[in-house]
């Protein structure tokens, strides 16, 4: 008989994602032939090295989820035709916490790595993708994969912080929103338009993909103004939201996860923890004459203040299932997760990565999913709006127009 063994319960920060059955998919569009056997072997290696991901989640008698490692092997990757119009297979946390789908075409293929958000944040997930393609490349080029050993089960955020003596503070970031709470007559919230569906479904999305010259121009201007590209993207998203909402008197609450690996001592490895992140908050007071550079700089200043005060590091310790959806009395919160500049994955000769995309899956929750993701891959900035709301294309189109106009307006700073 095959069976499963419990490894550990999910921590509160991980349980948040299990309740929502939240998977994240990274899709790479590949040009050139893909060796199915070699990719399958590379994926098997990934499951051997990270056994928790090959397992699944089960509820115990108290309703808490726990990681179960299976005594049998992962069933393997999914194969589909890229022009197949049938409904796509989607991951399920009761089956496995990692899945790999290859949609094959004549010249191009799409490879999607799904990981459960309770077990891996974006940084963790991309490290897994790098490992996968590294092993695949070694197999295809004849180097092969040396013997591997299983890595330890990744630690929770709570364990990582406890080991470093970080506990709850009185503040956790939402205090920045207090001036706007119950201060305005608000329109209906699009974030609280929940669905009824017991399974994870793909959240509709729309993307804008900047060219390499456009992206490089923004990087040059950011360097000249001493701000990050992340903050400039945040400014464009907030200005686009302000324009489309057409409620100029309402401030916009902004929230974004911060990768704590870069700010903890000792540092945390890419796959050492599940979700070692904090949440940063900002309240955007936007007016017709708001300058995007000043807005971006103000976001950075607020971030630096809360980081120096230790607020961001412990912020997630205050969050729970009660924070699903929009905080009461607030205008709709804008949330963005920014992966920054991602390194290229290793590929064998004849195989190139043409595009990078992200998809988000959620089951039924009390909140309608409404969020942005951004990252730069191969010199191109990609911004995606994930939303069950109407016309997501209009949001990314407005964001693209705002970003595209920056070089001509601020080019003097780089001369």
Which residues are known catalytic residues? 117
The candidate with the shortest Cα–Cα distance to 337, out of 232, 258, 231, is 258
The neighbouring-strand residues paired with 8 are 67
Judge contact between 396 and 241, C-beta under 8 A.
Answer: no
User: What is the spatial distance between Cα 253 and Cα 174, in angstroms, rounded to a whole number?
Assistant: 9
Within 8 A by CB and 6+ apart from 85, the residues are none
370, β-bridge pairs: 387
Please spell the DSSP secondary structure of 296-355, one letter per residue.
Answer: HHHHHHHHHHHHHTTHHHHGGGG--GGGSSPPTTSPPPEEEEEEEEEPPPP--TT-EEEE
Cα atoms in the 13 Å half-sphere on the side-chain side of 140 = 21
The answer for residues whose C-beta is within 8 angstroms of residue 72's C-beta and 6 or more apart is 2
| Nearest alpha-carbon partner for 258 in 222, 293, 230 | 230
């Amino acid at each position: 008989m095959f069976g499963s063994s419990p490894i550990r319960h999910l921590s509160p920060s991980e349980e948040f994602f299990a309740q929502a059955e939240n998977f994240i998919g990274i899709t790479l569009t590949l040009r050139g032939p893909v060796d199915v056997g070699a990719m399958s072997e590379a994926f098997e290696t990934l499951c051997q090295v990270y056994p928790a991901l090959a397992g699944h989640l089960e509820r115990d008698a108290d309703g808490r989820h726990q990681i179960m490692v299976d005594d049998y092997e992962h069933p393997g990757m999914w194969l589909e035709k890229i022009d197949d119009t049938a409904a796509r297979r989607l991951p399920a946390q009761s089956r496995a916490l990692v899945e790999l789908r290859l949609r094959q075409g004549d010249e191009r293929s799409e490879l999607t790595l799904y990981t459960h958000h309770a077990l891996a944040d974006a940084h963790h997930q991309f490290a897994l993708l790098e490992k996968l393609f590294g092993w695949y490349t070694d197999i295809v080029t004849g180097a092969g994969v040396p013997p591997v050993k299983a890595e330890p089960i990744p630690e929770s955020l709570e364990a990582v912080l406890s080991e470093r003596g970080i506990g709850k503070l009185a503040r956790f970031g939402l205090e920045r929103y207090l001036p706007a709470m119950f201060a305005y007559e608000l329109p209906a919230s699009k974030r609280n338009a929940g669905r009824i569906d017991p399974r994870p479904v793909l959240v509709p999305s729309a993307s804008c993909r900047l060219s390499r010259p456009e992206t490089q121009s923004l990087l040059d201007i950011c360097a000249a103004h001493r701000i990050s590209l992340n903050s400039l993207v945040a400014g464009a998203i907030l200005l686009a939201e302000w324009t489309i909402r057409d409620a100029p008197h309402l401030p916009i609450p902004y929230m974004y996860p911060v990768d704590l690996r870069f700010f903890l001592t000792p540092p945390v490895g890419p796959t050492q923890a599940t979700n070692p992140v904090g949440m940063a908050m900002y309240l955007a007071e936007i007016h017709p004459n708001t300058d995007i550079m000043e807005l971006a700089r103000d976001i950075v200043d607020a971030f630096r203040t809360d980081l120096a005060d230790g607020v961001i590091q412990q912020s997630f310790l205050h969050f729970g299932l009660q924070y699903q959806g929009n905080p009461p009395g607030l205008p709709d919160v804008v949330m963005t997760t920014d992966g920054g500049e991602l390194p290229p994955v290793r590929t064998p000769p004849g195989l190139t990565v043409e595009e990078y995309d992200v998809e988000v899956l959620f089951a039924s929750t009390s909140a309608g999913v409404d969020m942005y993701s951004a990252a730069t891959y191969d010199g191109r900035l990609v911004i995606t709006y994930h939303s069950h709301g109407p016309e997501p294309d209009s949001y990314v189109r407005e964001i693209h127009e705002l970003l595209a106009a920056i070089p001509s307006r601020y080019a003097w700073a780089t001369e």
